[in-house]
Structure 1
Amino acid sequence: PDSIDWRKKGNFVTPVKNQGPCGSCWTFSTTGCLESAIAIATGKLLSLAEQQLVDCAQAFNNHGCSGGLPSQAFEYILYNKGLMGEDTYPYRAENGTCKFQPEKAIAFVKDVINITQYDEDGMVEAVGKHNPVSFAFEVTGNFMHYRKGVYSNPRCEHTPDKVNHAVLAVGYGEENGTPYWIVKNSWGPHWGMDGYFLIERGKNMCGLAACASYPIPQV
């Protein structure tokens, strides 16, 4: 489709969450993507535990409040055999000991799809045909003050080693001839456009096409 917004297609996107002072954006991108994928597959919208990813996913090259990648977090959920819910493993915005209880896992991953590096058309196809997609990009100072409109930055980097913030593409469209992504952030609902932002699409803006991924949920 020319445009899509999963927020408007049904109850497929959880409310915007807030990562707080912990560098755990990667966990919110991960839970947001899996929450939406499960909702689209089953009609059930769950809220999943970022804190479990913060505390337990180190073996998959993730570092709690110091960063990580959604693709590696999806692999963790796949091999760990499950992710608990927000209610049984609440978010604390700090590193902690792993308290995973297998019998309380409510979300499962059967495969991880890594979209080919720099293939932004592949991202469009995934979001258009399947579900929201996790991606990372380079946040620079001016992004913090984003309020509305299509964000574009001629001075950011475009390579995977420079990306520093993971988010969730929940749709795409075009405004006055500028194609954009609709993106769910994890800085609470008072930032940006009710917690969301638009970013220019089709140019690998700030490296957004460098490492995009999504899970196939086990339902």
Structure 2
Amino acid sequence: PDSIDWRKKGNYVTPVKNQGPCGSCWTFSTTGCLESAIAIATGKLLSLAEQQLVDCAQAFNNHGCSGGLPSQAFEYILYNRGLMGEDTYPYRAENGTCKFQPEKAIAFVRDVINITQYDEDGMVEAVGKHNPVSFAFEVTSNFMHYRKGVYSNPQCEHTPDKVNHAVLAVGYGEEDGTPFWIVKNSWGPLWGMDG
């Protein structure tokens, strides 16, 4: 489709969460994607445990509050056989000991598809036909102060080594001929346009 906003299609996107003083954006990007995929498939919107990823996914080249990658977090969930809910493994915004209890897992990953870097058409297709998609980009200082409208920054680097923040693409569209992504961040609902 020319545009899509999963927030308006139904109860498919959880409310914006806040990662706090922990570099765990990668966990929120991952859980947001999985929460939406499950809601689209089953009609049930679950809130999943970012803290489990912070505490337990180190073997998959993730580093808790010091950063990680959604692609590796999905691999952890796939091989670990599940992710618990926020209610049974609440978020604490700090590194902790892994307390995963397999019998309490409520979300599972059967397959992961990685869209190659620079394949924006592939990302449009994935968001338009399937579900919101995790992605990462370079945050510069002016992004911190974003409030509204279409954000663009020509200073952003276009190389993967500069990527420093993971978010969730919940839709896309076009305004005055300028294509844009609708992004769910993890800095709470007061940042930007309701988060």
TM-score of the two chains, using structure 2 as the length reference: 0.99
Q: CA deviation at 1:57?
A: 0.2
Residue ranges of structure 2 left out of the alignment (5+ in a row): none
For 1:82 and 1:10, the matched residues in 2 are separated by: 25
For 1:169 and 1:130, the matched residues in 2 are separated by: 12
Q: CA deviation at 1:145?
A: 0.4
For 1:179 and 1:101, the matched residues in 2 are separated by: 43
What secondary structure does 1:174 align onto? Answer: strand
More strand as a share of residues: 1
For 1:122 and 1:142, the matched residues in 2 are separated by: 28
Q: CA deviation at 1:38?
A: 0.3
For 2:159 and 2:31, the matched residues in 1 are separated by: 24
Q: Deviations over 1:106-139 (max 9, x none)?
A: 0000011000221000000000000000000000
Identical columns (%): 96
Q: Deviations over 1:142-172 (max 9, x none)?
A: 1000000111111111111110000000000
- Structure-1 residue corresponding to 2:161: 161
What secondary structure does 2:122 align onto? Answer: helix
Q: Deviations over 1:29-88 (max 9, x none)?
A: 000000000000110000000000000000000000000010100000000000000000
Q: CA deviation at 1:180?
A: 0.2
Runs of 4+ in 1 over 4 A off after TM superposition: none
Verify: 1:89 aligned to 2:81, yes or no. Answer: no
Residue ranges of structure 1 left out of the alignment (5+ in a row): 195-219
Aligned residues: 194
- Structure-1 residue corresponding to 2:190: 190
For 1:87 and 1:93, the matched residues in 2 are separated by: 15
TM-score of the two chains, using structure 1 as the length reference: 0.88
What secondary structure does 1:76 align onto? Answer: helix
Instruction: Give me the CA root mean square deviation.
Output: 0.4
